Copies of this chain bind each other. A is one copy, B any other.
Amino acid sequence: MRNITQHNVTDAVRKSFEAIDDTRLRFLIERLVTAVHGYARDTGLTHEEWRAALDFLNRAAAISNASRSEFTLLSDVLGLSSLVDLLAASPGATEGSVLGPFHSRGSPWVESGASLIKDNPGEPVLLRGRVTDTQGLPIPAATVDFWQNADNGLYWQLDSSQPQDNLRCQLRVQPDATFELMVIRPRPYMVPTDGPIGDLLRVSHRDAWRPAHYHVIVEAPGYRTLVTEIFDAEDPYVAQDAVFGVRESLVADFKPGNDPAVREKYQLAGAYRVVDCPVKLAPAA
């Protein structure tokens, strides 16, 4: 340690973490050191490049705050968030997709059958589903956390023209494990491009669009929590999601609906769309 050289530095750093008590954390940090040092060696990373990388992270820090994490977005555009979702997949269960930066705990509780439309413009959509295990058996204890963007493409957190908690809710499924919500058709939108991630996307000639989607988190005691999205099959960006979140099984048809009973229940003036969203949860590990 008094004579750190190019040849012994990686071992010295690994050794410095050997006393971590938690076996898994020790493994994760040891691999992190190996990966980071391997990257610098393989690429012959220069001072200027290292400084540019730190400048990138410092700019990411400066633009982040309690309701915006440029680091989550970095993980998203590098496909890491998506990869972690995919690695967590359980055979037979609904696929997961990225959580995104607009979820926060504490959405208002509503009953299944509620309408979130209120004063929102946009095409009405009846979102309905049933939560089962991978064998198809109903899970009546399941809860659904739902959020989507408004017709102008913005989530309520970033848009002072929307009421607080606009277009988000939590609900308990019905005794038969079904649920139903009247919502609006989601809109494609761009991830924020005013920070360093925006620079990265521009220099890569990548666009910042995310195809229109709903977010849901489905939880039930004894089952793995599902964090996923439901995409609109007709969206122009469904095959080029900036954050690599689309899976074929999560692309839904927004079918035309015009049932007078539904129109009356939700006080709709005209036609609407129907999205079926069956959810299968895997057992907890």
Complex interface: chain B residues within 8 A of A70 (CB): 61
Q: Per DSSP, are chain A's interface residues mostly helix, strand or loop, or mixed?
A: helix
Q: Does B71 lie within 8 Å of A58, measured CB to CB?
A: yes
User: A82 on the interface (CB 8 Å rule)?
Assistant: yes
CB contact list, A35-69 vs B, under 8 A = 35-47, 49-50, 54, 57-58, 60-62, 64, 69
Complex interface: chain B residues within 8 A of A58 (CB): 64, 69, 71
Number of copies of this chain that the complex holds: 2
Size of interface on A: residues with Cβ below 8 Å to B: 78
Complex interface: chain B residues within 8 A of A27 (CB): 43
Known: A32-B39, A40-B83. 19 other contacts (CB 8 A): A1-B240, A1-B246, A4-B86, A4-B244, A6-B89, A9-B83, A12-B79, A12-B244, A13-B79, A29-B200, A33-B78, A36-B80, A37-B83, A46-B84, A47-B84, A47-B88, A50-B81, A58-B64, A61-B64
Q: Does A1 lie within 8 Å of B37, measured CB to CB?
A: no
